[in-house]
């Protein structure tokens, strides 16, 4: 159990650090929506689909690798809490159009990205 927690901890730390760097470079008040958060959530969804797809297909993707990559890295890389806070800020400012595109675009494209990752994992 300690080994699994350590794998999740390390993966989550790497994912969180990478999310911070991407969000810091892409989020800007000059943009209509927070592109950094949008980007990490969509990439994270794609990666999650790939990792789960590979785990179902290849034996070398054992439970420890899945914990590190899917639970740890993807869990730390993507961010629902920031996503919801940014949506709340858009609503509070009365920017309903960008709220709509950001909220629903993130959800729909995120789900499609998981499906794409699962599909791509079957091609190899």
Q: Which residues does the chain have with pLDDT short of 70?
A: 29-30
What pLDDT digit, counting tens, does each position of 84-110 carry? 999 999 999 999 999 999 999 999 999
Q: What is the pTM of this model?
A: 0.90
Binding site listing: 75, 78
Binding-site annotation: residue ranges for Na(+): 75, 78
Burial 105-122 (b: 16+ CB within 10 A, else e): ebeeebeebbebbbeebe
Q: What is the mean pLDDT of the chain?
A: 94
């Amino acid at each position: 159990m300690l080994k699994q927690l350590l794998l999740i901890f390390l993966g989550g730390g790497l994912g969180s650090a990478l999310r911070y760097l991407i969000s810091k470079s892409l989020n800007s008040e000059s943009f209509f929506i927070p592109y950094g958060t949008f980007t990490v959530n969509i990439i994270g969804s794609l990666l999650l689909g790939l990792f789960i797809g590979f785990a179902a297909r290849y034996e070398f993707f054992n439970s420890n690798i899945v914990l590190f990559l899917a639970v740890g890295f993807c869990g730390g890389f993507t961010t629902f809490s920031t996503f919801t806070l940014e949506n709340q800020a858009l609503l509070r400012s009365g920017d309903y159009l960008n709220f709509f595109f950001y909220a629903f675009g993130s959800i729909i494209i995120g789900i499609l990205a998981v499906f794409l990752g699962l599909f791509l994992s079957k091609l190899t």
